[in-house]
Amino acid sequence: MAADEARQLPAELTARSVRSTLDQETLAEGEVELRQGNLTLSADLLRYNAATQWARVTGHVKLRRDGDRFNGTEAEFNLGSREGYVLKPEYYFERTGAGGRARRLDFVGDKRMSARRADYTSCPRDDGTGTPDWVLSADKLELDFENNEGVAHGAVLRFLGVPILAAPVISFPATDARKSGWLPPLFDSDTRGGLSVSVPYYWNLAPNYDLTTTPSIASRRGLGLEAEFRYLGSSDEGHLDVHTVPHDRVAGSERHAYDWAHAGSVGGHWRYDAQVMRASDDDYWKDFANQLPSKTRRLLTQAGQAVGHYDFSADWSLDTYASVQGWQVLQDTEAILPPYQRVPQVGVRSRGLIGEPGAEGGLGLRWELELEANRFELADRPVNDNRPDGSRVHMIGALSRPVDEGWGWFTPRLSFNAASYRTEVPMEGGRLEAHRAIPTLSADAGLRFDRATDWFGAGMRQTLEPRLHYVNTPWKDQSTLPLFDTAASDFNAASIYADNPFSGVDRVADAHQVTLGATTRWQETDTGVERLRLGAAQRFLFRDQRLTPEDVPGDKRVSDILLFGSGSLWQNWIFDASVQYGAAIDKPVRSIVAVRYQPAPFHTLAGTYRYARDLSEQFELGWQWPIYRGESKPGGSACQGTLYGVGRVNFSMRDSRVTDALAGIEYDAGCWIGRFVVQKTSTGASESTTHWMLQLELIGLSRLGSNPLKVLKDNIPGYQLLRDDDAAPLPKTPTP
């Protein structure tokens, strides 16, 4: 309800006794309660002047307004102007879940108030008299909710009785809306840069764009500056992040990096996006790992694309696209083979249906067509890298006729892959140009069986789905053609039923084979929840394969066996497993087994075993688990809190060493959370970086220190925040 509307509503008064003089003073005693709209005022004694609309109350004063509460010994309040005061108040703000005490609190209308000798905390006070674990005290506190401004004069923040932050004047947002001002300082420490301190300043430039600047100083490297600019338009949005160290004392040079990302749409059919990431030097990813958002920190992308989508009918769509893609490879040795740049890529994709199945004259044929042109170049070519720059135009098409009767399906498919190449230097064989076209005939078929069963007394529905996939592709010599964007696909439940074991365009394997497999699932009858899935598949070749993912002609007539399974056999347990079993060597070739136990919130234990014969063998263990639960303190409602252990360890069984590790503790005291996390990350065969993160989260106020939450969420399967992520100093996206 709007404030002006609330003031116009009639006031309702109840009490044990009421005496009133017409149009003058009203005196109410005993369990007095005065209501007007969203305002409630209660006390032992009330005097109200109808002419001036002033109400004066004493004894057990309680004032409620929009969910906020103010309790005191005496108060005066004007029902018309919403002005007044409360003496010795205890107050609580619903929007933050925190409150405090003051000597006097004054109301200046609906949107402003000020308090003298005030404090603020979300922690309970034992027996109502104890000292909170954390408290922000101020000589004077001013809150302007209309302009979203809070000012604390003579402010001191104490934690466990120790002052940790003090300032003559502190400005902060009075609501959860955005406001310009200094944010809490950040502290960070690692073995490469030492201890660093940074203090962000948030600039609320406009409703749809903002800026955060963060000056910093590191004990080993010196001064630095970060800046994040965010913007949001009616049809586009983006951000620009910049980090610079003008003179890194360790490296003896200037260091910097930037990340710009933009995305938007035009006209309802076209969307576009771009991202440009760049770092000053090859060692930047080691020294400033947290500044690079790339999942592949040593491979920074510079790309942009535009895609237009058109639906001409329910059975015909068209996509046109154009893009450029480049990379910056960060490496001090030539250990990484850089990928090709696409400068540019232009293409058209279309798909449709020729006649609805079952309709008169409907063929039910589905068609797909892709026509694309690319220019490939290597920007940072390593020594002895003889891969050629060049161009490729390709066309890929397919025609299929799916049939699905519920109990089974059958899809015959005829496809082709045609490509034309032109290179700057001769390919193997001496040619500058080459062309090839390869057809493929395939058929995919399967059956669906199901039956009712039970599992430890629970009703289940079990399915059995045998599947057959046939492929016939003739051999075409492609050994002299360049490899621009093609690699062998991983051996998994999706690729084993694929027509081509390669991803990309440059290689099409010859094959005359059939893949046989089956999947069985157990689903709960009542809920449909899948409790278990098991499957197996294997290829059988009718002729030797000359072009293989291993780049070695094969005479094996049977492939490795793929075994896979996933589910939750027991409550709170989840597993996922995949095994590639070598039929020729009668031993496992690759395997991944993952198990997670998650019996309750904030309880997770996850283990993953990874094995690749003659390459690697690793075991990962991640956890978030309570290791101590405090008891309630005698005579009070406060709790001593819960201590959690968190971490992840990656151990190389082949090398008998820990490659990466993360370990820490979280202490949840109810009104504050403390986190201490140590992360060790390998940056080379014999070197690593250790990063210490310490954070104090004051519920209802803010977070102090370095933020380990993203590290914990990215590394620990099933990790949960002890609180909703609402204490961050900035909203994730500016709102117009």
The tens digit of pLDDT for each residue in 369-380 reads: 999 999 999 987
CATH superfamily of 3-182: Lipopolysaccharide (LPS) transport protein A like domain (2.60.450.10)
Q: What pairs with residue 449 in β-bridges?
A: 464
Per domain, the residue ranges of the chain are 3-182, 388-567, 571-736
Mean pLDDT, residues 562-577 taken together: 92
**Out of 170-184, 326-340, 403-417, 607-621, which region has the weakest mean confidence (pLDDT)?**
170-184
Q: Does the reported pTM lie above 0.75?
A: yes
Q: Write down the residue that tokens 């004032």 correspond to.
A: 63
pLDDT of 622 above 90: yes
pLDDT of 23 above 50: yes
Cα 691 to Cα 248, 356, 442: the distances in Å are 19, 61, 53
pLDDT at 294: 67
pLDDT at 702: 79
Instruction: For residue 7, name the pLDDT band (cuts at 50, 70, 90).
Output: low
Angle at 568 between CA 567 and CA 569, to 5 degrees: 110
pLDDT at 541: 94
Mean pLDDT, residues 232-239 taken together: 94
Cα–Cα distance between 314 and 90 in angstroms, integer?
Answer: 64
Cis, bond preceding 344 (omega within 30 deg of 0): yes
331: left (phi > 0), else alpha (psi -120 to 50), else beta? beta
pLDDT at 637: 41
pLDDT of 726 above 60: no
User: Which is nearest to 703 in space by CA: 720, 721, 680, 691?
Assistant: 721
